[in-house]
A and B are shown apart, each in its own frame.
Chain A
Amino acid sequence: MPKNDQSVVIEGSDGDQFAVHTVQSLGHGQEMRFPDGRRFRYARAGAVAVVPGKLYQAAIPVTNHVLQTVAAAAVGARTVAMTLGGTAVTADQYRDGYLVVDLASNTGFGYIYQINAHPAQTASSTFNIPLRSAVQVAIATTANSVSLVPNNYAGVILAVVATPTACIAGVSVKAIPIDNFGWIQIAGNVPVLCTGTMVIGTTAITGTTTGAIIAESAAASLTLPVLGYINRVAVTTAYSTITLTGLE
Chain B
Amino acid sequence: MSNVISGHEGDQWKTHASKQLNYGQEMRFIDGRRYRYAKAGAVAVVVAKLYQAPIPVTNHVLRTPSAAAVGDRTVTIALGATAAAEDAYLDGYLVVDLATNTGFGHIYQIANHKAIASSGSFAVPLRSAVQVAISTQATSVSLIPNNYNGVILAIATTPTASLAGVAAAPFAIGSFGWVQVAGNCMCLTEDNGAVNVTEGYQLIVGGTTGSLMPQATAVSLTVPEVGICVRAATTTDYSTVCLTRIE
Roughly how many angstroms separate A4 CA and B230 CA in the complex, as a whole number?
30
Chain A residues 69 to 103 lying within 8 A of chain B, measured CB to CB, are 96, 98, 100-103
Closest Cβ of chain A to B204, distance in Å, is 10
A57 touches B200 (CB 8 A): yes
**Does A109 lie at the interface of the complex (its beta carbon under 8 Å from any beta carbon of B)?**
yes
**Does B5 lie at the interface of the complex (its beta carbon under 8 Å from any beta carbon of A)?**
yes
A61 touches B199 (CB 8 A): yes
Chain B residues 25 to 49 lying within 8 A of chain A, measured CB to CB, are 27-32, 46-49
Find chain B residues with CB under 8 A from A225 CB.
202, 225, 228, 244
**Does B78 lie at the interface of the complex (its beta carbon under 8 Å from any beta carbon of A)?**
no
Closest Cβ of chain A to B188, distance in Å, is 8
Roughly how many angstroms separate A165 CA and B237 CA in the complex, as a whole number?
19
**Does B216 lie at the interface of the complex (its beta carbon under 8 Å from any beta carbon of A)?**
yes
A109 touches B238 (CB 8 A): yes
Find chain A residues with CB under 8 A from B49 CB.
110
Closest Cβ of chain A to B228, distance in Å, is 5
**Does B182 lie at the interface of the complex (its beta carbon under 8 Å from any beta carbon of A)?**
yes
Which of B4, B234, B244, B245 contacts A7, CB < 8 Å?
B4
Known A57-B200, A104-B237, A132-B9; judge A147-B30 contact (CB<8 A): no
Q: C-beta contact mask, B4-29 vs A, less than 8 Å → 1, else 0?
A: 11111111011000001000000111
Question: Which bracket fits the contact residues of A?
Answer: 35 or more
Residue of B whose beta carbon sits closest to that of A186: B32
Find chain A residues with CB under 8 A from B183 CB.
248
**Does A31 lie at the interface of the complex (its beta carbon under 8 Å from any beta carbon of B)?**
yes
Find chain A residues with CB under 8 A from B61 CB.
none
**Does B162 lie at the interface of the complex (its beta carbon under 8 Å from any beta carbon of A)?**
no
**Does B240 lie at the interface of the complex (its beta carbon under 8 Å from any beta carbon of A)?**
yes
Find chain A residues with CB under 8 A from B163 CB.
none
Roughly how many angstroms separate A223 CA and B238 CA in the complex, as a whole number?
19
**Does B62 lie at the interface of the complex (its beta carbon under 8 Å from any beta carbon of A)?**
no
Question: Which bracket fits the contact residues of B?
Answer: 35 or more
**Which stretch (A22-30, A45-53, A119-127, A194-202) binds chain B?**
A22-30
**Does B1 lie at the interface of the complex (its beta carbon under 8 Å from any beta carbon of A)?**
yes
Residue of B whose beta carbon sits closest to that of A1: B20
A100 touches B216 (CB 8 A): no
**Does B149 lie at the interface of the complex (its beta carbon under 8 Å from any beta carbon of A)?**
no
Closest Cβ of chain B to A147, distance in Å, is 6
Show 30 A/B contacts (Cβ-Cβ < 8 Å), sorted by A.
A1-B14, A7-B4, A7-B28, A8-B28, A9-B28, A27-B30, A41-B32, A66-B231, A98-B240, A100-B231, A100-B240, A102-B186, A102-B231, A102-B238, A103-B237, A103-B238, A110-B46, A110-B238, A149-B240, A152-B184, A165-B199, A167-B199, A167-B229, A206-B200, A222-B216, A223-B201, A225-B225, A225-B228, A248-B32, A248-B242
> Which residues in B have some Cβ–Cβ distance to A below 8 Å?
1-2, 4-11, 13-14, 20, 27-32, 46-49, 169, 182-186, 188, 195, 198-202, 214-217, 220, 225, 228-231, 233-234, 236-240, 242-245
